[in-house]
Copies of this chain bind each other. A is one copy, B any other.
């Protein structure tokens, strides 16, 4: 799957991922009203609204981009109907040949992590059948519980040719509370980065590993260091746009081959129609605004990479 991701990034010339993190207040009124009319102001109604919203954005952007990243929290908040919308979104994006990164940030001990791995990127054995329950292509993971929380996922990756992005340095303001604590002369996130590199060596694709890392765009200096610590890890970079990161901050997340990083934008693309810059599209044409925002993001990053050459 890392080979597919790399190939798709090269083909689209777009090292970006669209975060499908729908909040109800991002969703245009006409979509909400239609969904509520059919299902009421219920979990089912909200789930229908986010699914229709996602579908239109995917329809208007799938040819530009290599991958999407649905954030499962935004679906879990609508209970079981929400999770059904998550699964519908995963399946629909895969039908459009997009790589799907399930932003699930799971992490637990051995057999429990194995259950998450089976559920999200593997197949579960039920009697004589093997069934893929959620079937994302990649998932994000939290490493706080250590190696035995990660290795069950690596085992499934090897078997199913799927991939991981492990939280190393996150984009949020208080990511430093524990990640930046100094262990001797090095911060915790560097130790996690070293582990990611080690885990990654055990399951390599052609040029990059199946085991990638999450490093926030909001910390470009740390990105530079971590790029060196994990040369074969794809870095998933959140924090572009709404969280403050810009193209020029991102150049050191990439390797000299122009690969090795994929930059996420969620709000900045899916709710672009709410920005002054894209207001001309109007709420009805929200997905055209998303397309324009994706094009601008691709150009911003390409320009920054070109300027850094």
Residues of chain A whose beta carbon lies under 8 Å from any beta carbon of chain B: 21, 23-24, 32, 36, 41-43, 45-46, 71, 73-74, 76-80, 82-84, 87, 105-113, 115-116, 118-120, 124-129, 131, 133-134, 142-149, 167, 170-179, 181-184, 188, 191-192, 195
A-B contact pairs, 20 of them (CB 8 A): A21-B112, A41-B126, A41-B129, A42-B131, A71-B112, A73-B108, A76-B116, A76-B133, A77-B116, A109-B170, A109-B172, A143-B144, A144-B179, A146-B175, A146-B176, A148-B174, A149-B174, A177-B195, A178-B191, A181-B183
Q: Closest approach, in angstroms, between the C-beta of A109 and any C-beta of chain B?
A: 4
Q: Which of A21, A115, A126, A191 counts the most B-chain CB atoms under 10 A from its CB?
A: A126
Q: Closest approach, in angstroms, between the C-beta of A142 and any C-beta of chain B?
A: 5
Known: A83-B83, A107-B105, A181-B183. A175 touches B145 (CB 8 A): yes
- Whether A115 lies near B149 (C-beta < 8 A) is no
Cβ of A76: which chain B residues have Cβ within 8 Å of it? 115-116, 119-120, 133-134
Complex CA distance for A109 and B105, rounded to whole angstroms: 11
Known: A127-B41, A172-B145, A175-B146. A73 touches B105 (CB 8 A): no
Copies in the complex: 2
Sort A-B residue pairs by CB-CB distance and give the 8 closest, nearest first.
A79-B133, A41-B127, A146-B177, A146-B174, A109-B172, A77-B119, A144-B144, A77-B115
Q: Closest approach, in angstroms, between the C-beta of A26 and any C-beta of chain B?
A: 11
Known: A24-B126, A110-B172, A167-B144. A77 touches B178 (CB 8 A): no
Cβ of A124: which chain B residues have Cβ within 8 Å of it? 43, 46, 77-78
Cβ of A179: which chain B residues have Cβ within 8 Å of it? 144-146
